[in-house]
Amino acid sequence: MSTAPDPAWTQQGVPAARAANPAASWKWRVLHSWWLLLPIVGMSCLGGFGFLFVGLKARRAAWWVSGIAYLVLGWTAFILVGELGETVTDWAVGGVLAIWMTSIVHALVINPSWLRWRAGYRPWYAEPGGPYPPVALAPPPGAPGTSYPPQTGWTPPPSQAFPPTTAYPPVTGAQPPAYPPAPLSSDFPPPLPDYPSALSEHPPPLPSQQSGATTVDHGGAPGSLDVNSARWEEFAVLPGFDPGRARQVVDARDRRGGFGGLAEFTAAANLAPHEYARLRDRLTCTPPGGHRPGYPPSGRVLDV
């Protein structure tokens, strides 16, 4: 069995690689070097146009600036020939020849850079792709020299002596929990009995229509402030209050005859939610003269 590469397979990707690299062809290099004719046959008058073309096409400022300089100097020297005497004419003719030869040498120097740029140039409408197509790593089907038959995708059956193993052991039966259950805390109340049985065995007593509801006022905690009995000086030392807001609250309380609840106090003081949150635990409200018509009673209502 020979391990040498197949000649037909080796030479197959060479034309494709050469086609993908156009600079490898001398015809392509000659075709895209046409602009050298302008400096050669232009006699220092047309060579600048060639530099302008390659400079603007490749966006090289050094090239198109040189083209402008060759045009200005070449046309100026050409115009002065035979116009201002023999001495000026001699200098003008010498300048024309110097500019002509300099532009030719300059064009020959930058032409390889222009060809390299032109070989990698892709217009905006061209499909994106790499400079070289992918080369097949395997010989085409039916090519001579292949040593192995094509694969059919068949896999041998597993051996009985060595059965296949899995990454995880088999699970048999119920597994114990990874962590023991947390003990029930005594801080929580016991679970309620079933709802229908609780209603059938212990029916709740109906509230008496004649006894009414008993209102239990919130007892003032130590350091709390009753909004219906506090003076404006006490309001002024609260967080978020100033003497102006304190007098505004007292005037509103005098006009209403007292606040029916903390909601009225908050509205009268124009407290923002975050300001009321800081004062919620320090304020209490005792309705003046018991229950006022049109205002809900404060405190919790206990059914008896």
Residue 38 to residues 28, 203, 250, 301, Cα–Cα distance (Å): 19, 113, 98, 106
Give yes or no for residue 218 having a pLDDT over 50: no
* Strand 225-226 versus strand 283-284 pairing type: parallel
Domain that holds residue 34: 7-119
Mean pLDDT of 231-259: 87
Structural domain includes residue 206: no
Length of the chain equals 304
Please report whether residue 183 resides in a domain.
Answer: no
Sign of the alpha-carbon torsion through 126, 132, 137, 139: positive
Residue range 98-113, pLDDT digits in tens: 999 999 999 999 999 9
Residue 253 lies in a domain: yes
Can you give the pLDDT at residue 238?
A: 86
Other residues' Cβ atoms within 10 Å of the Cβ of residue 71: 21
- Residue 53 covered by a domain: yes
**How many domains does the chain fold into?**
2
Last residue of a domain, one of 119, 153, 182: 119
Q: Are 28 and 19 a contacting pair, CB within 8 Å? A: no
User: Which of residues 119, 152, 181 is at a domain's end?
Assistant: 119
Q: Band the pLDDT of 227: cuts 50, 70, 90.
A: confident
**Chain CA centroid to CA 231, Å:** 58
In a domain, 179, yes or no: no
Top pLDDT among 196 and 141 is at 141
Is 130 part of a structural domain of the chain? no
Non-local (6+) Cβ contacts of 275 within 8 A are 239, 240
Distinct helix (H) and strand (E) counts, the chain:
12, 4
User: pTM surpassing 0.85?
Assistant: no
Q: Is the pLDDT of residue 46 over 60?
A: yes
